[in-house]
Amino acid sequence: MNSSQDRGFCSLPAIPLWVNNETLIGSSKRSMPVFNPATGTPAKRVTFASDDDLERALAVAADAFQSWAAVPPVKRARLLFRFKQLVERDHDCLARLISEEHGKTVPDAAGEVLRGLEVIEFACGIPQLLKGEYSPQVGSSVDSFSFRQPLGVAVGITPFNFPVMVPMWMFPIAIACGNCFVLKPSERDPSPSLHLARLLAEAGIPPGVFTVLHGDAELVGRMIAHPTVAAVSFVGSTPVAESIYRQATYYGKRVQALGGAKNHLVILPDADLDQTADALIGSAFGSAGERCMAVSVAVPVGAQVADELVSRLKPRVTALRIGPGDQAGAEMGPLVTEAHRERVAAYLDLGVNEGARLVVDGRGAAVPGQGFFLGGSLLDHVTPAMRVYQEEIFGPVLSIVRAANLDEAIRLVNAHPYGNGVALFTRDGAAARRFMLQVNVGMVGINVPIPVPMAFHSFGGWKRSLFGDHHVHGPEGVRFYTRLKNVTARWPGSTVTGAEFVMPTAS
Ligand code: NAD
């Protein structure tokens, strides 16, 4: 939307930027309404950053970097520890804020906050994580040591589906490493970032170390091209991830760009089908399927397993409890926008036209009020050539693709362009081991439907689910936000006099 002027959104409460530890109303002429997806009504207006706002924010961040990088890591860790306590204090408030703008249920949002908190906990160990290596006497009276230093100003561009957790995959580690961080959250649910910024300020973070700028593709392009920006972290859809990766590489920036997904769950004939059905229902329909690690394809091995699985899933998908995120007992909230609901619903017609069987049609589900609700859907007899299989739907739609044996299932997973997550359900250890080794996917679950690594490991997919060399958070996060320096030192008393023209060796 180009302007909010003529749509009556100007009277809505404005969501500001966060620059220099203060709120700032974005001075761009552009702004956007932020909807409550459960009611379908615009509730707030997010103000966009202008060129001047961006220049100011980056100048403040570049200035802050000079002193922040010099703060001893242990002091940065203490500050993050205070931040962690404040996030714990405001945990419920953050969960409600997420639910109001994203639509997911409050308990699900509370889980998101906890997964973000775990990254702060990890970042609190930064003195240990930044420790270098030391080799005395690499030559006569010569020592050699290496350590990691921050990059400067890093930017993070994040998606709508985890407005707290995904930013927290990035900024606690970036800041702990001594960088300044500029967050450009999704314009669809921008308020939780502001709350986090306030908590960081309350914890004592110096002005300029953490900044929040709102905007869309236009702002992102300007951020990436700006000479002050040293590194770009992106999480979002694959076409945008690929484009950001190319732009950032062109401008010589360090970049990690995580994209979309199509996650398979393969079921062998020896799996417990009741447990598998439970796992599928939660992982396909939790958060209305708007998770990059949601299972969107079930791959039963053998026709009998497939038929039994479908007969177990059908009544459960039909009976999903759909309601506003703050309604007790709701299992699935609305989709994030009306446009996204229409996009997801269109895939159901497409699937039928392509020859799939629509076992449960979520468009027929009873839903409350005018919110962006869509019931759960189940498509059977989906085949690899269909667009409903190839493309990321990112909604409450589970496809069944039948395979004859484990080899065929592995080939199917490996041929798919996305490679974020995958799972195998079985009691057979040898089959699980073969699967784990042969599958070309970044995160693998064995009887675990959503194998999201803990904060002290790193998260990332393969193939078109990640562009760049580094996964996020954990040890890979520390590597991404720092660069290695090596020092070779000798002191005057031991220095050999006279010029040396021969390549130095330890002999
Ligand atoms: P999106 O790609 O539309 O937007 C992500 C961010 O990029 C937003 O901040 C948006 O403002 C910005 N953006 C949008 N278009 C842009 C453009 N042309 N140029 C520059 N910036 C642009 O994604 P979304 O709809 O917010 O989120 C859903 C997507 O994110 C899904 O594809 C999902 O799989 C993916 N996702 C991936 C992971 C992962 O870890 N791989 C995690 C969460 C979400």
Q: Which residues are catalytic?
A: 292
Pocket test of ligand 1: the residue of 101, 193, 235 to mutate, having most ligand atoms within 8 Å of its CB, is: 235
Q: What are 281's two structure tokens?
A: 């229902």
Q: CA-CA distance, 361 to 366, in Å (whole number)?
A: 11
217 close to ligand 1 (CB < 6 Angstrom): yes
Rounded to the nearest angstrom, the distance between the alpha carbon of 295 and the centre of ligand 1 is 18
Q: How confident is the model at residue 90 (pLDDT cuts 50, 70, 90)?
A: very high
Three-state SS annotation for 211-280: EECCCCHHHHHHHHHCCCEEEEEEECCHHHHHHHHHHHHHCCCEEEEECCCCEEEEECCCCCHHHHHHHH
pLDDT of amino acid 366: 86
Q: Which atom of ligand 1 is nearest to the CA of 185?
A: 9
Q: Which residues pair with 400 in a beta bridge?
A: 298
Rounded to the nearest angstrom, the distance between the alpha carbon of 237 and the centre of ligand 1 is 4
Please write the tens of the pLDDT for every residue from 397-419: 999 999 999 999 999 999 999 99
53 close to ligand 1 (CB < 6 Angstrom): no
Given a cut of 80, whether residue 384 has pLDDT beyond it is yes
Q: What are 391's two structure tokens?
A: 């493309």
Rounded to the nearest angstrom, the distance between the alpha carbon of 243 and the centre of ligand 1 is 11
Rounded to the nearest angstrom, the distance between the alpha carbon of 134 and the centre of ligand 1 is 41
pLDDT of amino acid 101: 97
Given a cut of 60, whether residue 7 has pLDDT beyond it is no
Q: How confident is the model at residue 4 (pLDDT cuts 50, 70, 90)?
A: very low
Given a cut of 80, whether residue 494 has pLDDT beyond it is no
| Phi, psi of 367, deg, nearest 5 | -130, 150
pLDDT of amino acid 496: 64
237 close to ligand 1 (CB < 6 Angstrom): yes
Q: Which atom of ligand 1 is nearest to the CA of 241?
A: 2
215 close to ligand 1 (CB < 6 Angstrom): no
Pair 453, 435: CB distance under 8 Å? no
260 close to ligand 1 (CB < 6 Angstrom): yes
Nearest CA, atom 26, ligand 1: 159
Given a cut of 60, whether residue 361 has pLDDT beyond it is yes
The string of DSSP codes covering 77-142 is HHHHHHHHHHHHHTHHHHHHHHHHHH---HHHHHHHHHHHHHHHHHHTTHHHHT--EEEEEEETTE
The string of DSSP codes covering 322-369 is B--TTSTT-SB---S-HHHHHHHHHHHHHHHHHT-EEEE-GGGS---T
Mean pLDDT of 436-452: 98
Of 6-15, 208-217, 376-385, 458-467, minimum mean pLDDT range: 6-15
Mean pLDDT of 445-450: 97
Q: Which atom of ligand 1 is nearest to the CA of 215?
A: 11
Of 2-11, 173-182, 475-484, 486-495, minimum mean pLDDT range: 2-11
For Cα atoms 27, 29, 35, give the angle at the middle one, nearest 5 degrees: 95
Mean pLDDT of 32-44: 96
Q: What are 452's two structure tokens?
A: 């999201």
pLDDT of amino acid 502: 83
Adjacency order of strands within the sheet including 133-139: 133-139, 142-150, 482-489
Mean pLDDT of 21-32: 96
Given a cut of 80, whether residue 464 has pLDDT beyond it is yes
Nearest to 93 by CA among 414, 326, 307, 323: 326
Question: Which domains occur in the chain, in start order?
Answer: 7-259+465-486 (3.40.605.10), 263-446 (3.40.309.10)
pLDDT of amino acid 2: 44
Given a cut of 90, whether residue 174 has pLDDT beyond it is yes
Q: How confident is the model at residue 1 (pLDDT cuts 50, 70, 90)?
A: very low
Cβ contacts of 502 within 8 Å, gap of 6 or more: none
Given a cut of 80, whether residue 356 has pLDDT beyond it is yes
Q: How confident is the model at residue 245 (pLDDT cuts 50, 70, 90)?
A: very high
Rounded to the nearest angstrom, the distance between the alpha carbon of 478 and the centre of ligand 1 is 23
Please write the tens of the pLDDT for every residue from 91-118: 999 999 999 999 999 999 999 999 999 9
pLDDT of amino acid 67: 98
Nearest CA, atom 9, ligand 1: 186
Give SS3 for 376: coil
Nearest CA, atom 32, ligand 1: 237
Q: How many CB atoms lie within 10 A of CB 339?
A: 10
Pocket test of ligand 1: the residue of 187, 238, 240 to mutate, having most ligand atoms within 8 Å of its CB, is: 240
Rounded to the nearest angstrom, the distance between the alpha carbon of 258 and the centre of ligand 1 is 9
Given a cut of 80, whether residue 74 has pLDDT beyond it is yes
190 close to ligand 1 (CB < 6 Angstrom): no
Please write the tens of the pLDDT for every residue from 115-146: 999 999 999 999 999 999 999 999 989 999 99
Mean pLDDT of 242-267: 98
336 close to ligand 1 (CB < 6 Angstrom): no
Q: What are 257's two structure tokens?
A: 């760009």
pLDDT of amino acid 8: 66
Given a cut of 50, whether residue 3 has pLDDT beyond it is no
pLDDT of amino acid 281: 98
Mean pLDDT of 465-471: 97
pLDDT of amino acid 501: 84
Q: How confident is the model at residue 6 (pLDDT cuts 50, 70, 90)?
A: very low
Rounded to the nearest angstrom, the distance between the alpha carbon of 160 and the centre of ligand 1 is 7
